[in-house]
Each structure stands twice: as C-alpha cells, then as structure tokens.
Amino acid sequence: MTASGALGAAAQVAVVGGGSPLLVGLMRQVRARMEGRAGAGVLQPWRDLRKLLRKEPITPAGTAWVFRAAPLVLAATVLVVAAVAPFATTSSPLDRIADLFAVAALLALGTVALALAGLDTGTAFGGMGASREMTVMALVEPTILLSVFALSVRVGSTNLAAIVGEAVRDPRAVISPVSLLAAVALAVATVAEAGRLPVDNPSTHLELTMIHEAMVLEYAGPDLALVEWASAMRLSVLLGLLTSLFAPWGITTGAGLAVLPLALVVFAAKVAALGVVLAAGEVFLAKLRLFRVPELLAGSFLLALLAVAASFFLG
C-alpha cells in the first residue's frame, strides 16, 4: 500500500463523484443539440440534485428499511468500485478486491438493492421494474463474466489492475481479435447494465415502458437525489471500466504523484468522449421491445464466447 495509491483511489472517487452528474448533463446536452433543442446545460443534473436535497424527505406509505437502505447500498457499491478500479492509477490500496468478477458482482448488488426497493413499495410499477431489471441482469451476467474470462487469459489473472497494467506495458496487444470481440460484447452488456437505449430509455415518462425509472418511481427528495447521483456514478464507472480495459492509455502504473492529475484528466476526457459517442448513437436508436432485448443480449453472449475461443485458438 502506498500513499500515492491511496491518494489516487481517493482522487478517483472524487472525480467520479463530482464528475458523474456532469457526464449525464453532457450526454443530455449532446442529445438535445443533435435533436435541434437548446438543452438545459451541462450543469443541470447538479442543479437538480441541489433542488432535491432541499426538499422534504418522503416515506411512501407501507415501505420499510429495505426501501430506505437501497439508495445507500447502491451508492456504496459504486463508490467501492470507483475506489478499486484502475481508472487513473493501477496502485489502489484496495486492489486485492479489484477482481473483475468481484466488480461485476458488486455492481449487481447495487441493482439488487434497487430491485428489492421496487418490490418493497408494493406497487405494480415497482414490481414491474424490478422484474424487468432482474431479467436483464440475469442475461447480462454471462456476457460480462465470459468477456472477463477472455480478457484474463492473456494476463493469467482476473485482477483488473493486472489486466490494465499489462495493456499499458504492451499497448499493441489491445488491438487483437480477442479484445475486439470482448469489447463489443462488453459494450452491449454495459449499455444494458447502465439502462441506456436500446435496452431502457432513461428519459421516458411512460411508466409502462420503464425499467430503471419504474423501480425508483416512489423515491423523492434527498433519497431520490442519492439514487440519481449513484445512477450517474454507475454510468461513469461502467464507461470508465470500458475505457480502462480497451483504451488504457494514460493510466499510471507507478507510484509517482506528479502524473496523477494528468491521468485523472485523461480518464475524464476518455469517459466524456465515450459518453458523447453513446449519446450521439442514442439519437438514432429506438428502444427495443422488452422481449427483443434477450436476442440482443444473446448476441453479445455469443461474441463473448467467440472471444474466449479466440483467446485460446489465436493466442
């Protein structure tokens, strides 16, 4: 454990925590401009959060501790992932738990907390959202774990820092059939996990078409602020994982403090760029019917399986 590693982990958490609402704002702004609207500005999510924090806390009738604790669990899982994942530095003091399987499981834990909260409300919408979210999650999991498998073969470890560190040392290895196939598979899985188009529409206003929004329909005030913030962080963490795995440039592997600010800036720029691409892509996409989503996920699963096969037969 080094001081610079600990500082790097703390800086990652700070950047993810502070920058995530901006990422959401940026993506909304890009979308608005491309659709010919003026947009509310990049800072709007932060203004929304401030407004929500000032509102009175509300307990929906008949809900209990599960409902109250879920936003905290969601936020906690994302914060832990933000601290351990090699976004800017590979020497986080918590890198013992920076295993890709563990990271995937932690993110799943956050989803589960929200799904239970959705069920706890006892409304049809809450249950519906929870049921759909669990369906998507159950089908995304195999893709994620198989892609992890494919990426780990070259390094001989599923540790994120090890995978990223190896890629930083030998950047050409990133451009291989294995990594390309795994990248596409993981990208689809990320879109599904983050609840973006075409799996879920984050800006929908019709309860019947919601997945994520239906689960959190009953949240209001500061609780909603926490959920919104954690969801934004989740998006940036997922995009961050994609960039770290497939575009590891600029991540520091040493103990030096001087390069850390630069690494953080590069990380923010990479995630912002990926976010802009995602938002631009969403302009041209419509949401898939719920029962067509499994076909998309099955496709990504096949790609992940091909990636594993390629890692053996071509590696």
Measured distance CA(207)–CA(201) in Å, rounded: 11
Could you say whether residue 225 binds other proteins (CB under 8 A)?
A: yes
Which residue in the set 85, 140, 251, 264 belongs to the binding site for other proteins (CB under 8 A)?
A: 140
Structure-token pair, residue 64: 């209990």
x/- letters, 153..182, toward other proteins (CB under 8 A): x-xxxxx--x--------------------
Could you say whether residue 56 binds other proteins (CB under 8 A)?
A: yes
Q: Which is nearer to other proteins, 124 or 265 (CB)?
A: 124
Q: Which is nearer to other proteins, 7 or 220 (CB)?
A: 220
Query: Which residue's structure tokens are 């030096």?
Result: 256
Q: Which is nearer to other proteins, 84 or 274 (CB)?
A: 84
Residues in the chain: 315
Q: Which is nearer to other proteins, 147 or 252 (CB)?
A: 147
Q: Which is nearer to other proteins, 125 or 267 (CB)?
A: 125
Q: Which amino acid, residue 7?
A: L
Q: Which is nearer to other proteins, 57 or 256 (CB)?
A: 57
* Whether 221 contacts 55, CB under 8 Å: yes
- According to DSSP, the residues that pair with 130 across neighbouring strands are none
Q: Which is nearer to other proteins, 40 or 137 (CB)?
A: 137
Could you say whether residue 291 binds other proteins (CB under 8 A)?
A: yes
Could you say whether residue 46 binds other proteins (CB under 8 A)?
A: no
35: number of Cβ within 10 Å: 9
Measured distance CA(285)–CA(276) in Å, rounded: 15
- Segment 100 to 119, residues that bind other proteins, using CB under 8 A: 101-102, 105-106, 108-109, 112, 115-116, 118-119
User: 92 φ, ψ to 5°?
Assistant: -65, 140
> DSSP per residue over 140-164, as a string?
HHHHHHHHHHHHHHHHT--BHHHHH
Identify which range of 135-143, 167-175, 255-263, 268-276 contacts other proteins by CB under 8 A. 135-143
Half-sphere exposure of 252 (CA within 13 A, CB side): 23
User: 6 φ, ψ to 5°?
Assistant: -60, -40
- Segment 5 to 24, residues that bind other proteins, using CB under 8 A: none
Could you say whether residue 219 binds other proteins (CB under 8 A)?
A: no
- Segment 226 to 285, residues that bind other proteins, using CB under 8 A: 226, 230
Could you say whether residue 130 binds other proteins (CB under 8 A)?
A: yes
User: 96 φ, ψ to 5°?
Assistant: -65, -25
